[in-house]
Chain A
Amino acid sequence: MRIELLLNGEKHLVEVQPPELLLDVLRETFGLTGAKPGCRNGDCGTCTVTVNGWPMKSCLMLAAEASGQAVVTVEGLGDADIQQAFVDKFAFQCGYCTPGFIMNIHALSSKHPQADEATIRDWLQSNICRCTGYEEIRQAVVSVLEGKVKGM
């Protein structure tokens, strides 16, 4: 079946199989391998992208479901504050979970620019990082949110 994807700001017509996951279409058809297949079960969050600005685990969405929607992957972010914040705060080690965390936090900072600790906790539970103790990730989130608040 043919679907229309608004992917990283560009319109694409793409042929997909009905059971194909958005994750697999991103990785195999478009070569956007920033989204990672950590569990294919919605447990780990390594495949997180945004759909219409909301974080979405791309292993839990059929490509067909994404038809007509705006999908952004880590490759499409350009130059988001959270990317620099991850570098500054040493918020990754192996880097495998990083694109998923970055997409989740990027959505968080746009949906809840003044998110409190409870909101941050709530959102960030959906992703697993096995290398850090999450402390550096917390610092990166806080630095982005505070930076935004100051700029407003």
Chain B
Amino acid sequence: MKAIGRSVPKKESFDKVTGVAMYTADKVEARMLHARLALSPYAHARILSVDTSEAKQVQGVKTILTGDVSDVLIGEEIRDRPIIAREKVRYYGEVVAVAVADTEAAAKRAAELIRVEYEPLPVVNSPVDALRQDAPILHDKLGEYENEGRAVPVPGTNIASVNRLRKGDIDKGWKESEMIAENTVWFMPSDHAAMETRSATAEIRPDGYVVIDTSSQVPFTVKKYMANYFGIGSGWIVVQTPLVGGAFGGKSAIFLEPIVYLASKAVGGRKVKIVLTREEDMASAPVRIGLHATVKLGSTLDGYIKAAHITYRFDGGAYNDKSSDVAKAAVIDCSGPYGIPNLACDCFTLYTNHGFAAAFRGYGHSELTFAMERAIDALADKLGMDPWELRFRNAAVPGDTAPTRDLLTPSNLGDIKTCLNRLKILSEWEGWQVRQIDAYRIRAKGISCFWKNSSMDTDASSGAIILFNPDGSINLETGVVEIGTGTKTVLAQILAERMRMSPERIHVKLTVDTRTTPEHWKTVASRGTLLAGRAVLKAADDAIRQLLDIAACVLRADPEDLVLENEKVFVRADPSVNIEVREICYGYVYPNGNAIGGQIIGRGHYIQRRMNPLNPVTGEGTPGPEWNVGAQAVEIEMDTRDCSYRLMKAISVNDAGKVLNPEGARGQVMGAMAMGLSFANREGFDYNEQGMVLNPTLRDFSVLRYDENPSYIVEFIETPCLDAPYGARALGEHGMIGMPAALADALSRAAGVRLNQLPLYPETVWRARMGYSHVFL
């Protein structure tokens, strides 16, 4: 009865195919009030006045909130963001007022009638602009903001954080180098575009409990920060999260919760609900970070890279939120999966008049990988070397050190060379790389290679509780949010394997309620399986010990002589002496009515071992548990007349450590590949010169649809991570990381010109071929 390695369908499968699966906004209550937002039409402006008199006349309006309602500044790294804009707006779509009414229609009408007078200010429209001497300064009080200590801002500038990393001796590295290649890449901020837009409700009960329902990846973080921001005892805050309709990092930021809490407070604690429209979800809520980066590489003539200098200028948007931390994650793994002995990385997280950046699937890694892999391809060109061979020669191996100076081991580093070898075969790399199909059409392949550690708080932890039912089945509760990754099902498999029972006999609590659910730090970083998985194993061991103890009494045997298998406890040497779990999991009743024991409750927790924060000057530290690796390829067919192209084939070879649920794992990687291709092919905000977002809808901000996908090939190799349940490495984000670089490589080969700008619209390719300079605001 193997539970691990089986494609167990998601526990919530039938809920999801019958429409009964509930998401945050699906809850409708008669007495609920509704909130709608009034948003800034300017990317940068002084607020001169806000007139709510007309809005208040709308039938059914309860209250209008403006920036005056709270002077609390919020932010996870730097507290730089007002909940509702005060004095200034700093991005197009920033919240300037909130209308609360009986119905959503009345709230919408009122929000439209709020009159705000602005004095427009010059805008910072790119990270390069942000660094100019004469750039308008977004935050003149940057030096006064509260800071958690991880971001290093430079007051008087638009620099929200500077992170540096130094390893080895960079001067020596340049001296040893016989060939230098330098390459610059850039792309604008873009959107997560989860199918469920963000939503939240808040209620302040008469006894003081603050109850928040939210579509979030981080209910426990919401609880923590609501307590911090508003001075509420954390025990008085209850955060509930049902199923989440896609997140991709975008729902790991705190955004609607403080707004809707203030709204509820303003109407005497009544329950207030807010559901973002798609346009608000794209323009107003947190976005994906933008980047302008330069990578300089030095190598010997036979392709051994001796030195790398990486400069990142991240577009963090108007407020820092997690952008300096995303940037830090890109610093941690800046070399890519290569053993480069001498490294320097300078990273600037910049304030611009764009929407503020939150995490995005990959957390800085498809960003850093695009920068590094395009430079590797540039170096391969200069050396006249096969780009696969250049990657293979430099691939990091156990015994090398990471940029953070951690020693790489077979456990904490996946097997890059085997991934590359498999990729070579699957992509038929040696057969051809560019091929003319007919007079106009060219096919070409591109490759990339990636790694990713996670960048979590050093004390990130997770817990699990298991409760037996009278029929011997188990209820499993963890704090992982089910955002679509199937982690809760995988956790049931991990539990079933340890309990030696069928995963179908494990019942999973799908929702999270922070009052009763054990804390799971955040459902991010592809770490549900590691953190919660280890907690589940500990809970299982706790329950097994209790089961064996009570069975020992009943069977009159030493607990050490007993084994658990198939919902029975046996004497190892004499299986005829046994008892069913269901007879002891609620206590055992002797024939005379005497009873012992009680309901078996197993508990477990896990916290990462020996993590520490990075030194901001040298980048030294231990940021995460393991580097997950992979190699990827993309094949395209381009029409040379207009540079339009089709995605033909995409390949990913990932080191999964151990595949726990094959179909689930395949789906995670394939979906991530599609997301990476969609991003590289067409996703990005279109800002005009005033910093307004011109495409905040799914019509203008298009994502890949059914017939636009390539055929996908996904293969796993298994090099176990010794810390992880059954050796399983992180998986959820990794399929997307190398896709933009591989696509750009393939297209560059077809177009005969180096492409370094995303998205790769046919027009972008055409402009590069025509020799027009790239447009970069």
A135-B709 in contact given A83-B18, A128-B698 (Cβ < 8 Å): yes
Is A94's CB under 8 angstroms from B196's CB?
yes
Is B19's CB under 8 angstroms from A37's CB?
no
| B229 at the binding interface (Cβ < 8 Å) | no
Please, which residue of chain A has its CB at the minimum distance from the CB of B23? A96
Is A90's CB under 8 angstroms from B7's CB?
yes
| A13 at the binding interface (Cβ < 8 Å) | no
Q: Which residues of B contact A121 (CB under 8 A)?
A: 706-707
Contact partner, B671, options A35, A40, A125, A131, Cβ 8 Å: A131
Q: Which residues of B contact A132 (CB under 8 A)?
A: 667, 670-671, 674
Is B195's CB under 8 angstroms from A96's CB?
yes
Is B698's CB under 8 angstroms from A41's CB?
yes
Q: Which of B1-24 contact A (CB under 8 A)?
A: 7, 9-10, 12-23
Is B484's CB under 8 angstroms from A43's CB?
no
Assembled-state Cα–Cα distance A149/B718 (Å): 40
Is A135's CB under 8 angstroms from B246's CB?
no
| B571 at the binding interface (Cβ < 8 Å) | no
Min distance, Cβ B619 to any Cβ of chain A, angstroms: 34
A131-B278 in contact given A74-B19, A94-B245 (Cβ < 8 Å): no
Q: List 8 A-B contacts (CB under 8 A).
A: A33-B28, A36-B23, A36-B245, A96-B194, A97-B195, A98-B17, A128-B195, A135-B712
Contact partner, A34, options B18, B244, B674, Cβ 8 Å: B18
Assembled-state Cα–Cα distance A102/B14 (Å): 13
Assembled-state Cα–Cα distance A58/B634 (Å): 37
Min distance, Cβ B698 to any Cβ of chain A, angstroms: 4
| B243 at the binding interface (Cβ < 8 Å) | yes
Q: Which residues of A contact B9 (CB under 8 A)?
A: 87-88, 90
Q: Which of B461-503 contact A (CB under 8 A)?
A: 483-486
| A15 at the binding interface (Cβ < 8 Å) | no
Assembled-state Cα–Cα distance A53/B734 (Å): 41
Chain B count of residues within 8 A CB distance of the other chain:
57
Interface residues of A (CB under 8 A from B): 27-28, 31-41, 43-44, 46, 73-75, 77, 83-84, 86-88, 90, 92-99, 102, 121, 124-125, 127-138
Min distance, Cβ B24 to any Cβ of chain A, angstroms: 11
| B39 at the binding interface (Cβ < 8 Å) | no
Is A93's CB under 8 angstroms from B484's CB?
yes
Assembled-state Cα–Cα distance A16/B200 (Å): 26
Is B246's CB under 8 angstroms from A130's CB?
yes
| B705 at the binding interface (Cβ < 8 Å) | yes
Q: Which residues of B contact A90 (CB under 8 A)?
A: 7, 9-10, 663-664, 666-667
Assembled-state Cα–Cα distance A135/B668 (Å): 12
Q: Which residues of A contact B25 (CB under 8 A)?
A: 37
| B449 at the binding interface (Cβ < 8 Å) | no
Q: Which residues of B contact A134 (CB under 8 A)?
A: 674, 704-706, 709
Contact partner, A102, options B17, B244, B247, Cβ 8 Å: B17
Is A38's CB under 8 angstroms from B28's CB?
no
Is A40's CB under 8 angstroms from B28's CB?
no
Is A38's CB under 8 angstroms from B18's CB?
no
Q: Which residues of B contact A88 (CB under 8 A)?
A: 9
Q: Which residues of B contact A130 (CB under 8 A)?
A: 193-195, 246, 248, 675, 703
Is B18's CB under 8 angstroms from A74's CB?
yes
Contact partner, B486, options A36, A93, A127, Cβ 8 Å: A93
Assembled-state Cα–Cα distance A40/B275 (Å): 12
A38-B195 in contact given A27-B28, A127-B706 (Cβ < 8 Å): yes
Q: Which residues of A contact B663 (CB under 8 A)?
A: 90
Contact partner, B667, options A32, A34, A38, A136, Cβ 8 Å: A136
Assembled-state Cα–Cα distance A100/B358 (Å): 29
Min distance, Cβ A105 to any Cβ of chain B, angstroms: 11
Q: Which residues of A contact B207 (CB under 8 A)?
A: none
Q: Which residues of B contact A94 (CB under 8 A)?
A: 194-196, 243-247, 483-484
